[in-house]
Amino acid sequence: MKTIKFAFIILSISFLAVCCDKIDQPYVNLPPILDTAACPVPEFPLITNHIKRVLLEDYTGHTCPNCPTAGKIASNLKEQYPGQVVVIAVHAGWFANTYPEPGATQLYDYDFRTAGGTDWDTYFLISATGNPNGMVNRVKINNKYVIKKESWGGIIDTMVTKQPTMDLLVIADYNSSDRKICTHTQSTFLSSVDLNLKLEVVIIEDSIIAAQKNNDPGIGPVGDIEDFVHMHVMRGALNGTWGSELAAAGVQHPDKIIKSYQSVLPEKCVAKNCHIVAFIYNKDTYEVIQAAEVKLVE
């Protein structure tokens, strides 16, 4: 059975790595990019309503007691600006370490970490500043990428009204019998963009039930929540930590760029809970130009 979806997104699925203590021993893997001949390119729909979408990265950890509050803020912002805020919950840093406890519970033995998320956290110094923190379109505020959760909303509010310079579209074909994913992407230049551009593609998953420390009684019991519902969890950087080359400054490019990729969803990922998130960013500054998200299946 196949389901086909499209959304404003740029996507190239290559490999999925959600890691344990050692980054070279991932929790799940997608195989390398396969021959795309088995994924014929469909006709892309004509899109005339182009909107700005903002990427919010929430850096978190299951032993961070303040992180559930930040996660709630992120989810509220996604609801406040429907279709314009894309959230990735990146579990990285000290609070994301696993702590198998003696006895039957072993609350914090679930490993949410990924190689890509760890690399981002290290480069942008997020957890080194303290969790919860995050980034909004990877813009610098006061010369720092790291933005406190209380400031996310105000910054997003100033961004969503801007006219986009690029748009993203994806058509994803998922075959539930063999878990094959064929992904076709189209990036559209809406105005003159003379930058070195890259695109990043990740997979995220909702509704993962696992323990979480919490100090917000408005969210749940203070202390350990054994059945916390983790949302927007980054499962891996599908085309590498820093993504793929898209366009080069000073080089003429077509108005639209189409790319197709094929891969397989690992058994440990629940397809109905997965989303594909992608974003185009300035290679020189890391600022996100456009972001998008699509459910893998209905």
The full 3-state SS of the chain, as one line of letters, equals CEEEEEECCCCCCCCCEEECCCCCCEEEECCCCCCHHHCCCCCCCCCCCCCCCEEEEEEECCCCCCHHHHHHHHHHHHHHCCCCEEEEEEECCHHHCCECCCCCCCCECCCCCEHHHHHHHHHHCHHHHCCCEEEECCCCECCECCECHHHHHHHHHHHCCCCCCEEEEEEEEEECCCCEEEEEEEEEECCCCCCCEEEEEEEEECCEEEEEEECCCCCCCCEEEEEEEECCEEEEECCCCCCEEEECCCCCCCCEEEEEEEEECCCCCCHHHEEEEEEEEECCCCCEEEEEEEECCC
> 186: buried, middle or exposed (CB in 10 Å: 19+, 13-18, 0-12)?
buried
In single-letter form, the type of residue at position 164 comes to: P
pLDDT tens for each residue of 3-43? 444 443 333 334 343 332 333 334 445 554 555 667 788 88
The number of distinct structural domains making up the chain is 1
Find, among 257, 261, 255, 254, the residue nearest to 240 by Cα. 261
* Mean predicted confidence (pLDDT) in 247-257: 91
Instruction: Quote the distance between the C-alpha of residue 99 and its chain's center.
Output: 25
pLDDT higher than 80, residue 266 = no
Quickly state the pLDDT bin for 209 (edges 50, 70, 90): very high
> 77: buried, middle or exposed (CB in 10 Å: 19+, 13-18, 0-12)?
buried
User: Which one has a higher pLDDT value, 274 or 26?
Assistant: 274
Among 88-97, 129-138, 178-187, 197-206, which stretch is predicted with the lowest mean pLDDT?
Answer: 178-187
Mean pLDDT of the chain: 85
Quickly state the pLDDT bin for 102 (edges 50, 70, 90): low
CA distance 147 to 144: 8
pLDDT higher than 80, residue 211 = yes
For 95, the domain range is: 2-295
Quickly state the pLDDT bin for 231 (edges 50, 70, 90): very high
Is-cis flag, bond preceding 82, omega within 30? no
Q: For the chain, what's the residue count?
A: 298
